[in-house]
Amino acid sequence: MAKIECPNCGEQIETTGSVTACPQCDADLREVMEEVRRQQKAARGDLVRDESVTTHEFIVRTRDLKKIYIMGDMEVPALRGVDLDVRRGEYLSIMGPSGSGKTTLFNMIGGLDKPTEGSCFIEEVDMAQLDAFELAWLRCRKIGYIFQTFNLIPVMTAFENVTLPMIFAGMSSDEMMERGQALLDMVGLGDRLHHKPFELSGGQQQRVAVARSLANQPAIVLADEPTGNLDLQTGKEIIDLLKELNQEGGTTIISATHDLKMIDVSDRIVHIRDGDVERIEKRADLELEVGTLGSEHAPEH
Amino acid sequence: MGDIEAQRARQARQVWLVVMSLIVCGVGITNAMLMSVTERFREIGTMKCLGALDAFIVRLFLIEAAMIGILGSIFGLLLGHLAMLLIFCIKEGFSVPAKMNWLTMLTYLAVGLVIGTVLSLVAAVPPAVRAARMPPVTALQTEI
C-alpha cells in the first residue's frame, strides 16, 4: 500500500502493486515506485532491528548442555552435551527426528526450561543464573516466539495480540499504537487490525504471530515448526517473510523444523540425533532441490 | 418449648441452609474456573512466553471471576427478589408492594451483591494460583 505523487501532473495515486504509468498523464512512474520501495525497506529494517548496544558476535552460546528427564525411577537423557554458537543475524535451522532432543534444545535456548548441566548464554547472560522475574524480562524483550499452533489469544484482535508484549514491556500508549500498526503493515495485514483470530486464515494468523514476535525488537526469534499447520503455498509465504526479516532487519532466527523449504533459506543447519549434534551443515554446501507448486520451473524429464 | 425457642430453631435452620448453598456455589465456581484454566493452558503458557509474570496471570483470572461474580449476583438477586415478591403477593394479596419497605430490600440487594462477588473471588483463588504456576513451556504442548 503506497501513496505516490506523479511528478508530471501531480496526481495522487494509491497502489498496492507496481504502477508503471500515471493513469492521468501517462508519465513513467517506475523510478518513483523504486524510491518508495527503498524507503519501505529501510523503514522495515528500522522496525525490526535489535537496537541494543552490544558487541556480541555470538548471540546464543551453549556449553556442554545436558538435560536428563527423570521418569519414575528411570533417567532419560535428552541432551548429552551440546555445544552450539549462533552468530548475530544468522538463520539457523535445527533438524532432527522426534525424541532426538530437538525440542529440548529449543526449550533451553528459549529460556523455557533449565538444563541439568552445562550453560546456555543469550548475549553473554547465563540463563541458569536468572530468577523468575529476570527470565520473564528476557522472554519479553530479548526473545520472540513463533509457535506451530499460532497461539494467538482468541478473545483479542490482531492489533491487541501484537501489542500485548509491548504492554508487558511498559511501552507508552502512543508508541504502542504506532508500532503495532507498522508491524501489521509490514506483514501485510494492515487492513485487518481489528479482526479476531477466528476471522483470519491460518496463514494470516501466523503472520500476526510473526508480527507479535517482533513487538519488542528481540535479539532472537525462535520458531517452533512455524509451517507445520500450514499448506504448502501459505507455508512458503511465511518462509519468505521470515527470510526477508532476516536479510533486511538482521534478525537472528532459530527454527526447529522438519520442513525442507525452511532448510532451503537457512544459513546453517544443525542435525540432532539422540541428544547429540550429529553434524552442522552450511546451506552453501548443500544440494537441495525443493519441489515447487505451480509453474515456477518447467518439469524436466 | 416456647415460641421463642421454635423461632430460634427456625432461624438456625435458615442460616444453615444459606451457608450450605453458599458452600455448594463456591465449590461449583471453583470447579468451573478450574475447567476454564485447564482448557486455556496454551493461552497462559503463551502469555508467559511474552513476558507475563505469575502475579499478572493471577490478577487476570481474579478480575474475570469478579466480573462473573457481579453479573451472576445481579441476575440471581433480581430473579430471587422477583420470585419472593410474587410468592408474597399470591399469599397475601397484591397490596404487598405498596406496604413493603423498599429501603430494606435495597439493603438486601447490596449485601447480596457483595456476598456473591466476594464468594466468586474467594472460590477463584485456587484455580488462579494453579494457572499462575503453569510453566511457559505449556505453550508448546499439544495437549494438557
For the residues of A34-47, what is the DSSP string, one character each? HHHHHHHHHHHHHH
CB A108 within 8 A of CB A115: yes
Q: Which residues of A touch B49 (CB under 8 A)?
A: 110, 112, 139, 145
Q: Which residues of A touch B56 (CB under 8 A)?
A: 168
| Strand A252-256 versus strand A91-95 pairing type | parallel
Contact A139 B42 (CB under 8 A): no
Q: Which residues of A touch B138 (CB under 8 A)?
A: none
User: Over the range A66-84, which residues count as b (16 or more CB within 10 Å of their CB) and which as e?
Assistant: bbeeeeeeeeebbbebbeb
CB A27 within 8 A of CB A231: no
Residues making up chain A, counted from first to last: 301
Residues making up chain B, counted from first to last: 144
Contact A168 B137 (CB under 8 A): no
Contact B49 A112 (CB under 8 A): yes
| Interface mutation vs chain A, best among B50, B53, B56, B144, most A CBs within 10 Å | B50
Rounded-to-10 torsion of CA B2, B7, B12, B16: 130
Nearest CA in chain B to A148: B140
What's residue A11's pLDDT? 75
**Between A151, A153, A169, which is nearest B51 by CB?**
A169
Provide CB contacts within 8 A for A174, sequence distance 6+.
none
Question: What pTM does this model have?
Answer: 0.81
C-alpha cell at B5: 425457642
Structural domains in chain A, sorted by start: 89-112+134-285 (3.40.50.300)
pLDDT tops 90 at residue B43: yes
Q: Looking at the complex, report in whole angstroms how far the Cα of residue B39 sits from the nearest Cα belonging to chain A.
A: 13
Sheet containing A117-122: give its strands across. A74-87, A58-71, A117-122, A125-126
Q: Which amino acid is at A253?
A: I
Contact A153 B48 (CB under 8 A): no
What's residue A221's pLDDT? 95
Query: What whole-number distance in Å separates Cα of residue B144 and Cα of residue B141?
Result: 7
Tell me: the pLDDT tens digits for B66-108?
999 999 999 999 999 899 888 888 888 777 777 778 888 899 8
Q: What is the mean pLDDT of chain B?
A: 90
What's residue B24's pLDDT? 96
Question: Of B58, B133, B136, nearest to A138 (Cα)?
Answer: B136
What's residue A18's pLDDT? 62
Contact B51 A137 (CB under 8 A): yes
| Interface mutation vs chain B, best among A106, A161, A168, A257, most B CBs within 10 Å | A168
Tell me which residue has cell 520472540: A144
- Cα–Cα–Cα angle for B64, B68, B74, rounded to 5 degrees: 150
**Between B42, B54, B136, which is nearest A139 by CB?**
B136
What's residue B119's pLDDT? 96
Contact A154 B43 (CB under 8 A): yes
- DSSP characters over A250-290: --EEEEE---HHHHHH-SEEEEEETTEEEEEEEGGG-----
Q: Which residues of B touch A103 (CB under 8 A)?
A: 140
Contact A103 B140 (CB under 8 A): yes
Residues in B 109-138 with any Cβ partner in A closer than 8 A? 135-137
Q: Looking at the complex, report in whole angstroms how far the Cα of residue A55 sits from the nearest Cα belonging to chain B.
A: 25
Q: Which residues of B touch A140 (CB under 8 A)?
A: 50-51
Tell me which residue has cell 521470515: A242
What's residue A60's pLDDT? 92
**What 3-state class would DSSP assign to A21?**
strand
| Strand A268-273 versus strand A91-95 pairing type | parallel
What's residue B4's pLDDT? 87
Could you tell me the mean pLDDT of each successive run of 10 residues in chain A, 301 residues long? Answer: 72 69 76 77 71 71 90 89 90 88 89 89 88 92 93 95 94 94 92 94 95 93 92 91 89 88 86 87 74 52 45
Q: Is A120 exposed, middle or buried (0-12, 13-18, 19+ CB in 10 A)?
A: buried
**Between B42, B51, B135, which is nearest A151 by CB?**
B42
Nearest CA in chain B to A166: B50
What's residue A301's pLDDT? 45
Q: Collect all residues from A whose CB is shorter than 8 A from any CB in B.
A: 103, 107, 110-113, 132-133, 136-137, 139-141, 145, 147, 149, 151, 153-154, 164-165, 168-169, 212, 215, 224
Provide CB contacts within 8 A for A159, sequence distance 6+.
A180, A181, A184, A193, A194
Q: Is A98 exposed, middle or buried (0-12, 13-18, 19+ CB in 10 A)?
A: exposed
Query: What whole-number distance in Å separates Cα of residue A286 and Cα of residue A267?
Result: 10
